[in-house]
């Protein structure tokens, strides 16, 4: 197998099983809450939740079904504590600053009952330390995205983390900014010789050694559960995102909920962060995506304490809140 090739996610028999019309009844026999979960059962977890991976317009990758102001207003009304917008190609720090001013004005005028903290970050398209260092003076700057789409290679020819990348990781640790670690396949042209796990392992080792905090970007789409388990812990979290845990016409028309359960069971809720990563025109809105993901975890039998760890406690730690 070519080192960049990914294993087939499902055997044909499993695909047929997931697509069969009788799926719901067989799933409900194992997880009865699929048919009995109460409306708004997820609300208790939305209050104080933090979404560290929001997509919204203006997005340079694809059209989105909301702009960031709409996301922030809806999040405030639902009681979320904070949202962080990601863009693959541009900084979202200035946008977050402006949207926060708008939210605070709405609260002051009585048009919103409560505030939501609005954050942004910087994708590491180029290994430039200066813009990131300068951005640390803004409270709106909370995330750095490693291996952004089309981003510069972070490893040298020997597979070691480049000096510039390690300096940025050290800066994140010093200023308590979170790292989102994308799979090398996000920047496939830069990593023709490495699979996703081999490309991530040196970065993760450096992050842990430097005392930084990070979340793996939807690892279920590119890594096995065993690989995720080896990478997580010591401040590195598995991203449990809507993609690929929920079906998406834009990304994953078929999703196996048992893989999500296996991830939480094997890695532990203490090492997972729930976030949305939705917003394309054929996907949920941010808030609906978060609701559905929390409902899935409730149906799968995750405890209230586990869910709050993944949607509140761990994201707050990642962002230095």
Global pTM value: 0.92
DSSP 190: G
Q: What is the pLDDT of residues 24-69, one digit of tens each?
A: 888 889 999 989 999 999 999 999 999 999 999 999 889 999 999 9
Burial group, residue 226, by CB count within 10 angstroms (0-12, 13-18, 19+):
exposed
pLDDT at position 4: 45
pLDDT at 122 over 50: yes
Which domains occur in the chain, in start order? Answer: 47-319 (3.20.20.140)
Query: Using one digit for the tens of pLDDT, what is the confidence trace for 35-47?
Result: 999 999 999 999 9
pLDDT in tens, 219-272: 999 999 999 999 999 999 999 999 999 988 888 788 889 999 999 999 999 999
* pLDDT tens profile 147-196: 888 888 999 989 999 999 999 999 999 999 999 999 888 777 778 888 89
Residues 6+ apart with CB under 8 A from 233: 271
Please determine, for residue 10, whether its predicted confidence score (pLDDT) is greater than 70. Answer: no
């Amino acid at each position: 197998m070519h080192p960049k090739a990914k294993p087939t996610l499902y055997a044909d028999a499993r695909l047929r099983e997931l697509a069969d019309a009788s799926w719901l009844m067989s799933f409900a026999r194992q997880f009865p809450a699929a048919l009995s979960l109460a409306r708004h059962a997820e609300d208790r977890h939305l209050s104080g939740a933090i979404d560290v991976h929001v997509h919204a317009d203006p997005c340079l990758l694809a059209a989105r079904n909301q702009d960031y102001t709409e996301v922030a207003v809806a999040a405030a009304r639902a009681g979320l504590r904070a949202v962080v917008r990601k863009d693959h190609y541009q900084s979202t720090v200035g946008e977050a600053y402006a949207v926060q001013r708008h939210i605070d004005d709405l609260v002051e005028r009585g048009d919103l009952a409560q505030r939501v903290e609005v954050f942004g970050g910087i994708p590491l398209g180029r290994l430039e330390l200066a813009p990131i260092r300068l951005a640390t003076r803004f409270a709106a700057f909370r995330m750095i995205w490693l291996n952004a789409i089309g981003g510069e290679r972070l490893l040298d020819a020997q597979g070691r983390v480049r000096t510039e990348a390690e300096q940025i990781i050290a800066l994140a640790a010093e200023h308590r900014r979170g790292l989102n670690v994308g799979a090398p396949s996000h920047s496939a042209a830069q990593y023709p010789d490495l699979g996703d796990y081999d490309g991530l392992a040196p970065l993760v080792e450096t992050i842990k050694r430097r005392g930084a905090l990070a979340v793996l970007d939807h690892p279920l789409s590119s890594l096995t559960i065993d690989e995720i388990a080896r990478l997580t812990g010591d401040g590195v979290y598995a991203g449990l995102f809507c993609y690929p845990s929920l079906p998406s016409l834009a990304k994953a028309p078929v999703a196996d909920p048992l893989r999500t359960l296996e991830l939480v069971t094997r890695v532990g809720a203490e090492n997972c962060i729930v976030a949305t990563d939705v917003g394309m025109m054929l996907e949920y809105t941010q808030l609906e995506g978060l609701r559905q993901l929390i409902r899935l975890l409730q149906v799968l039998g995750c405890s209230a304490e586990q869910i709050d760890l993944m949607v509140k406690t761990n994201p707050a730690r990642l962002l230095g809140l």
